[in-house]
Structure 1
Amino acid sequence: MKRFLKILKWTVIVLLSLIILLIITTYFYMKQPQFGALPEGERLELMKKSKNFRDGTFHNLVEKPTITKGYSMWTEGWNSLTKTYPDTEPTTALPSVKTDLKSIPPDENVLVWFGHSSFFLQLDGVKILVDPIFSGKASPTPWGVKAYKGSDIYSADDMPEIDYMLLSHDHYDHLDYETVKALQPKVKFVICGLGAGAHYEKWGYTQKQILEKDWGETVAVKPDFNIIAENTHHGGGRGFSPDKALWLSFYIQSPKMNIYYSGDGGYSDRFKTVAAKYPAIDWAIMECGQYNKAWQSVHELPEEMALATTELKAKNLLPVHHSKFTLARHPWKEPLEKMTKLSAGKPYRLATPMIGEKVLLDNGSQVFKQWWKDAK
């Protein structure tokens, strides 16, 4: 009995020591710059004035549980660790095109998609970069989620001077420390949600560069050209402090055309509201990928995205949030396959460019190949 108690005592000591060591290691690891910074001081006081900020965090317009009724966070986590799902990432390099962004004529209205939700937009001579990820990963750790082969052909060096860099929210698959740090000398202004400026300031951006916005606020770029921060139904956070930075969608209003970028977010009535507020959407750039019925409230299913695009009354659809990172269990091709079927006969035109392919925004007859069919 004494021997058993002695063994038990030492087992408890070893376990407690390991737990303490893990806590200390995690604490110091979280001090690394890629985790960003929490808002404080004047930035925090500005956040407190927002009607969307309550009890220390930002909130969606309509509160919904992240996990769908009938599903369990624990079960979903366990399934992710113990089950395998087929074809969640390609086995060969994805086809891509390397467009020289620096040589695009300033009078061309073009979009170049880099995979997932990253894209370059030149509109009426204004150069905009959205949610750029060029580090090859969507994780703060070196062993985390990696980009698919062929999907990471661009770097910060390939970017031209950027007038406005837009951030939809501060999750790692949209806000990448290495990329943002490298781009700082090229970027005139960053437009992000309230609170997110703390990350950029920690990473060397000046206060003049950072434009933090609440839902409904506008950045006047030049006459008849506005970038408007709008709402979405999602969340934010890096580390263990969620929802300290506001998540956004964007409406880009220019003399040439109007573009809506959904950011991440589950389906809601907001698309009808956006259509009523902005009745002439030429292009809808919509999240389509990394979805699951278990977290349907914060990521749209393909059929919901098709419905949302119809409700927006958009003329053209370009689906994003796919073909670069595996963050869900569906086959990697599924978003493109489903959206192609769901878009048949719809009032909008579906655009499915390869990574790096130039999308001519003024050209309604441009043809896009179903490039994923030949990819493995």
Structure 2
Amino acid sequence: MTRRFTRMMVITLVVVALLTATLFALLRLPVFGTDPTGARLERIQKSAHYRDNSFQNREETSVEGKESTALKLLSGYWNRSAENEPKQPLPSVRTDLNTLPDAQPTLVWFGHSSYLLRHNGFTLLMDPVFGGNAAPVSFFGKSFAGSDAYSPADMPDIDVLVLSHDHYDHFDYTTIKALIPKVKQFVVALGVGAHLEHWGVPANRITELDWFETTTVQDGIRLTATPARHFSGRALARGRTLWASYVLQLPGYRLFLGGDSGYDKTFAQLGAQYGPFDLAILECGQYNELWPDIHMFPEEVVQAGQDLNAKAIVPVHWGKFALAYHAWTEPVERFTKRAQAAGMPFATPQIGQPIVLGQPLPQSAWWRTVGTGPAQ
């Protein structure tokens, strides 16, 4: 009996050792990026928003809500909406991104939180994810059929690529690698530059911003990193890099580029400090009562736009990945209902459909035509 027990213990230890070695080997793959070190880490440690070896939110924030448990999370997954993913490919509009009109700011959404902005010859690309999934492995977090209508090859030359944080649904290794030759400058939250350098981006093409820091990207064009209520991390540790939203100042226009964020009083503070905004692009989707602090519910998105003194809202963070349990159309349905009741102008474009400030905002409920047939 003792001999058998000893043998089982040895086998168990060997299996654990092999699994541990495999895990550490996987974590060394480039897709995971790397932690900040050296001068970058020293700068991080001096940030007012960094303590206890992690960046902190301005308000008490839990990645999992107080009512969240592993059992509830698992139950939520197995009981997710039957309409969690569309049953038909999503429609899209094919737009030549090299010939966009740009006398007024023009925005093209690519699904989820990826979009391109063009104005007077200046081109900005936000959180591009064109790799087909929102995870370090190809079999998880797959994009919806039809949502990958655009690829890095379709992108024009980019003056500035902006990243809100380092989660996989906003910061994709294969996309970044493909875009490096097209991008003049990367503007990212503090610490995210470590991943970019690890992937081959020259240090002199990376600008890292702490909250409330500003960089001038061209004459008359400025980006200011502003707080968001979220978290970061691509491997086991959280909070090694910062997460952010941004204020984009263009000649004659001001836009709010919202990263992932739960609702809090920060939106009103930013509205008072930087508003009004001609347009606020706000995350709307992948929410749940089990993680209420880190993503906004659709009704809160409308309130955040009002707090920001925004003239109009584009809801993003939906329409490409199922990262929560709700129906894939629920975010935009709830958002538009509340926005209409509140008298808040909004745009709900198809993937690839341009939004031109100063012209009528696209508001067709195109998603209602999707999902009536058998699963693809």
What's the TM-score bracket when you normalise by the shorter of the two chains?
over 0.9
| 1:65 maps to amino acid | S
Contact 1:67 1:294 in 2 (8 A): yes
**Structure 2 counterpart of 1:292:** 288
Work out the number of aligned pairs and report it: 371
1:272-287 correspondence to structure 2 within 5 Å: 272-287=268-283
1:154-303 correspondence to structure 2 within 5 Å: 154-303=150-299
1:74-89 correspondence to structure 2 within 5 Å: 74-80=70-76, 82-89=78-85
Distance 1:375 1:247 in 2: 33
Contact 1:131 1:175 in 2 (8 A): yes
| 1:159 maps to amino acid | M
Contact 2:298 2:332 in 1 (8 A): no
Once structures 1 and 2 are overlaid, which stretch shifts more, 8-17 or 212-221? 8-17
Contact 2:91 2:146 in 1 (8 A): yes
Contact 1:110 1:361 in 2 (8 A): yes
- TM-superposed CA distance for 1:262, in Å, is 1.5
- TM-superposed CA distance for 1:275, in Å, is 0.9
Contact 2:160 2:217 in 1 (8 A): no
Counterpart secondary structure, 1:86: coil
**Structure 1 counterpart of 2:42:** 45
Distance 2:7 2:296 in 1: 50
- TM-superposed CA distance for 1:124, in Å, is 3.3
**Structure 2 counterpart of 1:62:** 59
| 1:368 maps to amino acid | Q
Query: Unpaired segments of 5 or more residues in structure 2?
Result: 372-376
- TM-superposed CA distance for 1:105, in Å, is 4.0
Query: Unpaired segments of 5 or more residues in structure 1?
Result: none
Change (3 A) 1:294 1:49: same
- TM-superposed CA distance for 1:82, in Å, is 4.4
Distance 1:202 1:272 in 2: 37
**Structure 1 counterpart of 2:131:** 135
- TM-superposed CA distance for 1:219, in Å, is 1.1
**Structure 2 counterpart of 1:15:** 12
Distance 2:82 2:367 in 1: 16
Deviations 1:115-156 (A, max 9, x none): 000000012321000000011110101211100000011111
Change (3 A) 1:84 1:260: closer
Q: TM-score, normalised by structure 2?
A: 0.95
Contact 1:315 1:347 in 2 (8 A): no
Q: Tell me whether 1:122 sits opposite 2:118 in the alignment.
A: yes
Change (3 A) 1:367 1:35: closer
Counterpart secondary structure, 2:280: strand
Distance 2:77 2:224 in 1: 40
Q: 2:366 aligns with which of 365, 368, 371?
A: 371
Distance 2:343 2:254 in 1: 17
Distance 1:81 1:371 in 2: 27
Counterpart secondary structure, 1:20: helix
**Structure 2 counterpart of 1:27:** 24
Counterpart secondary structure, 1:300: coil
1:337-348 correspondence to structure 2 within 5 Å: 337-348=333-344
Once structures 1 and 2 are overlaid, which stretch shifts more, 47-56 or 62-71? 62-71
Counterpart secondary structure, 1:349: coil
Once structures 1 and 2 are overlaid, which stretch shifts more, 275-284 or 5-14? 5-14
Distance 2:139 2:171 in 1: 18
- TM-superposed CA distance for 1:84, in Å, is 4.6
Distance 2:22 2:210 in 1: 36
**Kindly, what percent of the aligned residue pairs are identical?**
40
Change (3 A) 1:99 1:78: same
Deviations 1:189-235 (A, max 9, x none): 11111110000001111111000000001111334321111011101
Q: TM-score, normalised by structure 1?
A: 0.95
- TM-superposed CA distance for 1:367, in Å, is 3.6
Change (3 A) 1:83 1:16: farther
Deviations 1:317-362 (A, max 9, x none): 1000001001000000100110111111324211000011111122
| 2:364 maps to amino acid | K
- TM-superposed CA distance for 1:169, in Å, is 0.4
- TM-superposed CA distance for 1:53, in Å, is 1.1
| 1:36 maps to amino acid | G
